[in-house]
Amino acid sequence: MGEAANVFNLSDKKYDCNGNGCGVVVESRRPCCWYEEEIYDDLRWSFALNSILHTGTSEFQDIALLDTKHFGKALIIDGKMQSAEMDEFIYHECLVHPALLYHSNPKTVFIMGGGEGSTAREILKHRTIEKVVMCDIDEEVVDFCRRYLVANREAFNNRKLHLVINDARAELEKTQEKFDVIVGDLADPVEGGPCYLLYTQCFYQNILKPKLNHKGIFVTQAGPAGVLTHKEVFSSIYNTLKNVFKYVKAYTAHVPSFADTWGWVMASDEPFELDAEKMDIGIGERIKGELLYLDGESFISSTTMNKSVYQSLLKETHVYTEENARFIYGHGRACLP
Amino acid sequence: MGEAANVFNLSDKKYDCNGNGCGVVVESRRPCCWYEEEIYDDLRWSFALNSILHTGTSEFQDIALLDTKHFGKALIIDGKMQSAEMDEFIYHECLVHPALLYHSNPKTVFIMGGGEGSTAREILKHRTIEKVVMCDIDEEVVDFCRRYLVANREAFNNRKLHLVINDARAELEKTQEKFDVIVGDLADPVEGGPCYLLYTQCFYQNILKPKLNHKGIFVTQAGPAGVLTHKEVFSSIYNTLKNVFKYVKAYTAHVPSFADTWGWVMASDEPFELDAEKMDIGIGERIKGELLYLDGESFISSTTMNKSVYQSLLKETHVYTEENARFIYGHGRACLP
Amino acid sequence: MGEAANVFNLSDKKYDCNGNGCGVVVESRRPCCWYEEEIYDDLRWSFALNSILHTGTSEFQDIALLDTKHFGKALIIDGKMQSAEMDEFIYHECLVHPALLYHSNPKTVFIMGGGEGSTAREILKHRTIEKVVMCDIDEEVVDFCRRYLVANREAFNNRKLHLVINDARAELEKTQEKFDVIVGDLADPVEGGPCYLLYTQCFYQNILKPKLNHKGIFVTQAGPAGVLTHKEVFSSIYNTLKNVFKYVKAYTAHVPSFADTWGWVMASDEPFELDAEKMDIGIGERIKGELLYLDGESFISSTTMNKSVYQSLLKETHVYTEENARFIYGHGRACLP
Amino acid sequence: MGEAANVFNLSDKKYDCNGNGCGVVVESRRPCCWYEEEIYDDLRWSFALNSILHTGTSEFQDIALLDTKHFGKALIIDGKMQSAEMDEFIYHECLVHPALLYHSNPKTVFIMGGGEGSTAREILKHRTIEKVVMCDIDEEVVDFCRRYLVANREAFNNRKLHLVINDARAELEKTQEKFDVIVGDLADPVEGGPCYLLYTQCFYQNILKPKLNHKGIFVTQAGPAGVLTHKEVFSSIYNTLKNVFKYVKAYTAHVPSFADTWGWVMASDEPFELDAEKMDIGIGERIKGELLYLDGESFISSTTMNKSVYQSLLKETHVYTEENARFIYGHGRACLP
């Protein structure tokens, strides 16, 4: 009985009757250790655990790596699941590849947040990439992920990756560099939350956009985009970016471990011109290895919302500004990615 | 303090500091009554409850109507959520309208199962419909839904609706009628489960297909179709129908209260020829009232799967047959819808 | 299938094999609706529900009557179980009868709190009683319990019961009456909590004790008294009362629905002189009906703590005072029972 | 941020306002990893976890060592908590010391079960002890506990301890030895359960009693003994032993982590003659180190049940026999400790 043996993995245990052939399940023990997340105050989600692999705390956040039965290894920050082994490829392929493929020749990328390393990992699959700046506020989280997330280890060690520990807003303000693509891999713009200021029209206009090269593309995760949830932040992010960039493209995908459909928004002053076929060619030529979730056809289809969400995007008038938030600049964790 | 007052609706309760303007949340009481569903042995889902509205038991099943905070009123059968007020329109629009719109002039529809009444409700929105046969095994469930599901009351009272209490397989075998559309609104084809026999190639070929009129269309719910779950039954239903009909079309949608992307499959010996524009015209001309989820564009996009699911559909070889199930005909609930 | 039929009552459902006699349990469905209580941040307790009978809110509190499978009907106030049908007799017999039996001839009783009505019910079983004043701050809770708690209906209608809606502290201060017994049926003295001020040495000395008749007895519930929990408030209440009264007697009982052993403390300037036999005689002569939990022998034994708790009572030096609480007089709910 | 740092230990985390004195709790994160136990089908109990320390499986059982926030390290076998660091001393002191103290000079003890090692640890505190035979069916459980339960390591290494891996019934049948005390530390006598046969009148009379020396004492854990639960097995064990031994003494204690009051029964053909004072002398003279829970007074009081339980013990007529169980000898795990 080694330590690897697993008392919790019992849900399929069966005892057969002895030789009388009835063969029914007499006992089926239930898992007894669970990770529980409050998705909302009135909605919870629980995953049976194999083990609690690693835990830690940082100046800003608490962090854990859990081994769940259903979704594999899961990274938890401040009690919210960030990504799960079984389906993180959906989120990260969607966040990274469309923007890089729509760009004709992306060489430099700036990641706001992304300390987990998976976003960098996907970016570094592109043969054209020469430099990736990953700017995360939380050094301990970055160290934790570098140490424990085996799938991202190679990316963390890639020489093209430049890690900066700083507030992404402050870093973009002070940097002299411009980038082909900027990727927003931050917490949602909850008013008073840590990342609100990185989603405002003012930030996009005055701080972010000037740091994009000509024909540069900005892409950001844009929160839940389900039929019941897309008005929380998705439609506002979309609308805010429409006020700053000439061309904006929203798309969505269901991420099982997020218990919702998720949204992303790309924005640029160049039009997004690429059909499914050309995107497939780009994937084949420019990306090392196989993608698991995205291909040309499915990406195009993911930019068509259902009627309910589409109508909301059309009608949305809310714009994130520093004024309309009940937020006090410079206070607490609010400006930190 | 009436009975309607609600002790459990407390999750957003706030106490402000007295006049000093700090305005923070001092106390936020958590809901204390929950509905908990085991989606899988290792994955659970809990909804805070406002109340337990009605409960009942039938010969076959247990049934409850719960008032949940997050998804509104929810119908639970045998501990599994069947549909929730807030998003049941997604499932039922997807199940009903594409098949009826692809048909040039659907007058008669046979529903296998569907005792909840929502499927009939959507069908009866089509102006062409003259007769709907709803065949459900469980009279008590039908009575329960007729009594308590206000949204379906009008449909239950519609003279075009013919309710039959019977096993759908037996009913289709004995009926002399043929139908323009047959709709499968049954539990998934779990081996040994109550509805397995209603998903086999044999059943489709020998019992169901002969009861379709010329140019008739069969559509069935086809189980979970998420990246992690589509191989459970979705790809097999798709593949089984490909062996029986000349044309088969699968499509999916994320249903929040199912915690997954869901799948449906349409099948016919006539090709499915309708572009987004024509579908929108059909919706406008043939359906009374507004749809909430479906329009032409989004339906077309819902027939394009992501790469992961698409590959599985392409490669699927499993076919449901009576032979390959560990199922014994005529025993228990196994052949009942 | 009536409304009384119960979909949730399924945990013992069994399907037998057909005639082969193996008779094993093939399926045992689990309850799906639960009441969940956070006993502590790190300890929870969940009861399967039959139904949510009644809910309400008051100026001060939220209130619900639940029908649980395990403990019967349960009264919940602000998310904490107050009493359960199956075992509330333990708490209320222990709170009421020892003090009344130790008194030679109790005619008048003042209840601080007790709006549920069960404490009054037990007091009114004593033939000597002429007047019971129940003083509860929350009229809605009293009305709720009067309406829904069938077991206490007779007590609520008893002419000897005088209901006062007021803060018990304020009422004791202003009343001209004195009482043979005063019963404290209040929430625990958590600092900053609603009832803290009703457990201080100052309150006992200056407000409560002057309202006891000669040979009068004060008894109060005294919080959890388990091996792991008796230092929370039990030992401090005991020690505080030792500073105010000449004789103090603590006793405990395990209350299953509280998930803990509970404590009570009696205090008087008369010695507590009664052996088991005399107590049994008192129970027989003075109390109408049978007690379920208490008799002379078991009461005496309940005044002997285990070594762990006994040592703590001996060594306790903490006294509740208005000064040592982080409590601001007159603010919020803090002075309300 | 070391691995020891603890992301889950967040429940008391607070953020203060900066210098404006409002000082309220803005955020109090809840633990997210839980151990959940089904005490009954309709009653659950959940402990927040710090970590899952070790897990294993044996031929008979699954086993885990969890680090819980509330009860410390907890040993779980087959999804049921066996003992918790914070309060296992209650169970084990009650199981072992009364019987050994009532015996005038106990030198040899046989433990049926007890693979955890805590029972042996308590026995070995008695200076008179020369030999302890611990007979447990499950070698892997014994190895697991020997390896991971630090508190019992010394006991496992004690030369007086003789470990036998066998069914305790078979071992007692075949052994030539007799013992001063036999201790039953087995699972409850659930009909069809693994230990039923070790609680029958026949076993006690024909197998166990002959292996007691003159004036020998048998003591067994006797299951839950709460007001609501004592009729499950406690009263029957008591009554069964009354049919076999001249003198029987039952006693109880609330064990917090069992969520119930627990019962034990001692039995002998010698009378149990020891008052509180003499027991305290015995504790002082014969036991190495301090007891935490038991002393003379509290033990005597623990033998007096409340009225409800006492009446049940008086009235109990059920006796465990091999005949009245629905149990088939020799089948499955039924005769194994």
Separation between Cα atoms, residue B253 and residue A306, nearest integer Å: 9
Angle between helices B234-242 and B307-315 (to 10 degrees): 50
Give the mean model confidence (pLDDT) for residues B225-236: 97
Give the mean model confidence (pLDDT) for residues B62-91: 94
Separation between Cα atoms, residue A215 and residue B161, nearest integer Å: 59
pLDDT at A290 over 60: yes
pLDDT at C146 over 70: yes
Give the mean model confidence (pLDDT) for residues A330-336: 31
Give the mean model confidence (pLDDT) for residues A184-197: 89
% pLDDT > 90, chain B: 81
- What's the pLDDT at A16? 27
Q: What is the DSSP letter of D308?
A: H
% pLDDT > 70, chain C: 87
The CATH superfamily assigned to D37-84 is Spermidine synthase, tetramerisation domain (2.30.140.10)
Closest residue of chain D to B25, computed from CA coordinates = D26
The CATH superfamily assigned to C38-84 is Spermidine synthase, tetramerisation domain (2.30.140.10)
pLDDT tens across B104-144, in order?
Answer: 999 999 999 999 999 999 999 999 999 999 999 999 999 99
Residue B272 or D58, more confident = B272
- What's the pLDDT at A333? 29
Domain A88-315: assigned CATH number: 3.40.50.150
CB contact under 8 A, A228 and B254: no
A125-129, B142-146, C133-137, D6-10 — which is least confidently predicted? D6-10
Taking contacts as CB-CB distances below 8 angstroms, the residues of chain C near D12 are 41
B159-173, B318-332, C34-48 — which is least confidently predicted? B318-332
Residue C223 or C324, more confident = C223
DSSP string, A76-110: EETTEEEEETTTHHHHHHHHHHHHHHHSSS--EEE
Token digits for B109? 């529809």
Q: How confident is the model at residue A78 (pLDDT cuts 50, 70, 90)?
A: confident
Separation between Cα atoms, residue D8 and residue B234, nearest integer Å: 38
Q: How confident is the model at residue B328 (pLDDT cuts 50, 70, 90)?
A: very low
CB A137 within 8 A of CB A336: yes
- What's the pLDDT at D324? 63
pLDDT at C22 over 80: no
**Is C79 an 8 Å CB contact of chain B?**
yes
**Which residues neighbour D289 within 8 Å (Cβ) at sequence distance 6 or greater?**
D125
A50-64, A103-117, B322-336 — which is least confidently predicted? B322-336
Taking contacts as CB-CB distances below 8 angstroms, the residues of chain A near C24 are 17, 22, 24, 26
Closest residue of chain A to D331, computed from CA coordinates = A18
pLDDT tens across C91-112, in order?
Answer: 999 999 999 999 999 999 999 9
Token digits for A57? 């705390």
pLDDT at D97 over 60: yes
Give the mean model confidence (pLDDT) for residues B56-85: 92
Give the mean model confidence (pLDDT) for residues A240-252: 98
Q: What is the mean pLDDT of chain C?
A: 88
- What's the pLDDT at B30? 74
The CATH superfamily assigned to A34-84 is Spermidine synthase, tetramerisation domain (2.30.140.10)
Subunits in contact with chain C (3 or more CB pairs closer than 8 Å)? A, B, D
Give the mean model confidence (pLDDT) for residues A39-46: 94
pLDDT at A335 over 70: no
Q: How confident is the model at residue A23 (pLDDT cuts 50, 70, 90)?
A: very low
pLDDT tens across B139-158, in order?
Answer: 999 999 999 999 999 999 99
Of A22, A25, A26, the CB nearest to C20: A22
Instruction: Report the Cα A160 to chain-centroid distance in Å.
Output: 21
Instruction: State phi, psi for D96 to the nearest 5 degrees.
Output: -95, -50
CB contact under 8 A, D63 and A7: yes
Q: Would you list the domain boundaries of chain C?
A: 38-84, 88-315
Q: Give the 3-state secondary structure of residue A137.
A: coil
Token digits for A123? 């970016």
**Which residues neighbour D230 within 8 Å (Cβ) at sequence distance 6 or greater?**
D224, D261, D263, D308, D309, D312, D313
pLDDT at B279 over 70: yes
Of chain A residues 10-69, which have a CB less than 8 A from chain C? 17, 20, 22, 24-26
Q: Give the 3-state secondary structure of residue A120.
A: helix
Q: Which residues of D122-147 are buried (b: 16+ CB within 10 A; e: fewer)?
A: bbbbbeebeebbbbbbbbbbbbbbbe
Residue B252 or B28, more confident = B252
Closest CA to D259 of C37, C251, C85: C37
Q: How confident is the model at residue B11 (pLDDT cuts 50, 70, 90)?
A: very low
CB contact under 8 A, B52 and C56: no
Q: How confident is the model at residue A81 (pLDDT cuts 50, 70, 90)?
A: very high
CB contact under 8 A, A46 and B46: yes
Give the mean model confidence (pLDDT) for residues B18-46: 68
**Ranges of H-type helices in A185-253:** 201-202, 234-242
Q: How confident is the model at residue C181 (pLDDT cuts 50, 70, 90)?
A: very high
- What's the pLDDT at C283? 98
Separation between Cα atoms, residue B257 and residue B70, nearest integer Å: 9
Residue A219 or A193, more confident = A219
Q: How confident is the model at residue B194 (pLDDT cuts 50, 70, 90)?
A: confident
Nearest-Cα distance to chain C for B145, in Å, is 12
Q: How confident is the model at residue A59 (pLDDT cuts 50, 70, 90)?
A: confident
Separation between Cα atoms, residue C167 and residue C188, nearest integer Å: 15
Q: What is the mean pLDDT of chain D?
A: 88
CB contact under 8 A, A24 and C20: no
Separation between Cα atoms, residue D64 and residue D69, nearest integer Å: 16
- What's the pLDDT at D261? 98
D75-79, D88-92, D234-238 — which is least confidently predicted? D75-79
Nearest-Cα distance to chain D for B185, in Å, is 32
> What is the predicted ipTM?
0.88
pLDDT at A334 over 90: no
Give the mean model confidence (pLDDT) for residues D37-49: 94
In sign, the C-alpha dihedral spanning B233, B235, B238, B243 is: negative
pLDDT at A311 over 90: yes
Closest residue of chain A to B309, computed from CA coordinates = A293
Residue B164 or B6, more confident = B164
- What's the pLDDT at A61? 85
SS (H, E, C) C125-185: CECCCCEEEEEECCHHHHHHHHHHCHHHHHHHHCCCEEEEECCHHHHHHHCCCCEEEEEEE
pLDDT at B210 over 70: yes
C170-184, C243-257, D320-334 — which is least confidently predicted? D320-334
Dmax (CA) of chain B:
78
- What's the pLDDT at B323? 73
Domains D37-84 and D88-315 share a fold: no
Taking contacts as CB-CB distances below 8 angstroms, the residues of chain B near A45 are 43-46, 259
pLDDT at C213 over 50: yes
Site from D27, D37, D41 to mutate, C interface, most C CB atoms within 10 angstroms:
D41
pLDDT tens across D46-77, in order?
Answer: 999 999 999 988 888 889 999 999 999 999 99
pLDDT at B330 over 70: no
- What's the pLDDT at B8? 28
Catalytic residues of D: 185
Q: How confident is the model at residue D99 (pLDDT cuts 50, 70, 90)?
A: very high
Separation between Cα atoms, residue A209 and residue A192, nearest integer Å: 23
CATH architecture of B34-83: Roll (2.30)
CB D220 within 8 A of CB D195: no
CB contact under 8 A, D307 and C301: no
